Amino acid sequence: MSSDLIPARYLPLLDAPNYGHLGTIRPDNTVQVNPMWFQFDGKNLRFTHTTKRAKYRNLVQNPSMSLSIIDPENPFHYLEVRGKLVEVIPDPEGAFYVVLGKRYGNAAQQPPTDSADRVILVMSVESTTAQ
């Protein structure tokens, strides 16, 4: 699926360095939601993460994901993107973490200490809701 599912007036929410709140399903079927850095490549959403944390384990068990982004200037203007984990790309140098750190304002971003366990989580765009 492509960005055709995202109405044009909401694309700026994905293009700007807004924090998203990513929801995944825990093994007990409750929802885990955390703020996340992300990047939209025109088709998929990408996140940096490690293989050692609960969110990664959640996605291995159930690939369903949802990201909510709120317009910082108008909290009634938001976008929710629903999809699933479609790819996990090893990032043992932490290069994507650096890319996202710079996107979010840290020009001197360095790789994190947990780089050896870093991966890029790739989320498909299956459906959206917006206001």
- Domain CATH code at residue 94: 2.30.110.10
pLDDT at residue 3 in the model: 66
pTM: 0.94
* Residue 1 clears pLDDT 50, i.e. is over it: no
Residues 6+ apart with CB under 8 A from 18: 69, 70, 71, 72
Q: What is the mean pLDDT of residues 79-95?
A: 98
* Residue 2 clears pLDDT 60, i.e. is over it: no
End-to-end Cα, the chain, rounded Å: 21
Domain count, the chain: 1
pLDDT at residue 9 in the model: 92
Q: What is the mean pLDDT of residues 120-131?
A: 96
Q: What is the mean pLDDT of residues 111-128?
A: 97
Distance between CA atoms of 88 and 122, rounded to whole angstroms?
6
User: 79 near 14, Cβ under 8 Å?
Assistant: yes
pLDDT at residue 4 in the model: 82
Bridge-based pairing state of the strands 45-50 and 127-130: unpaired
Q: What is the radius of gyration, based on Cα positions, of the chain?
A: 14
Enclosing domain of residue 15: 3-130
Three-class DSSP category at 98: helix
Per-residue pLDDT reduced to its tens digit, 92-116: 999 999 999 999 999 999 999 999 9
Q: What is the mean pLDDT of residues 69-83?
A: 96
Q: Residue 56 is encoded by which pair of tokens?
A: 């990664």
What integer best gives the mean pLDDT of the chain? Answer: 95
